[in-house]
Amino acid sequence: MTGLACYCVAGWLLLVGAVGIVRSRHLVHTVVSLSVAQAGTYVLLLGIGYQDQAGAPIVVQDQRQPVVDPMVQAMTLTDIVVSATITALLLGLTIQISQRHGTVDPDELRALRG
């Protein structure tokens, strides 16, 4: 997937995630929608770092082909780890809210706002 298609897929994932966050009436659905939106950043970063007919960034003596930038791949992996951590934290908070208040509907939790 190259060119415009990569950016369209990344934008579509971000849009679907954002719509899910705004329209969700369940905290677990909100967390899943946030994960979908974050997946758009993975596709965007990998699309930015993609080079046609480029090899792995391993340096050898007589290398004749271009190599991809390993920084983009490292940023994508870091983004995946941070996303998994945030998802786990938010799901843990959702469990705590469910146990303490008996609901996961954001409209019923309006009293928690300051």
31-47: pLDDT as tens digits: 999 999 999 999 998 88
Calpha distance 20→83 (Å, rounded):
17
Fold of 4-53+67-112: Helix Hairpins (1.10.287)
54 vs 60: CA distance, rounded Å: 14
Give the global pTM. Answer: 0.82
Higher pLDDT, 65 or 95: 95
Rounded to the nearest angstrom, the gap between the alpha carbon of residue 38 and the centroid of all alpha carbons in its chain is 2
Which pLDDT score is estimated for 32? Answer: 96
Please compute, for residue 75, the number of CA atoms within 13 A of its CA located in the half-sphere on the CB side: 13
Class of residue 10 by CB neighbours under 10 A (exposed 0-12, middle 13-18, buried 19+):
buried
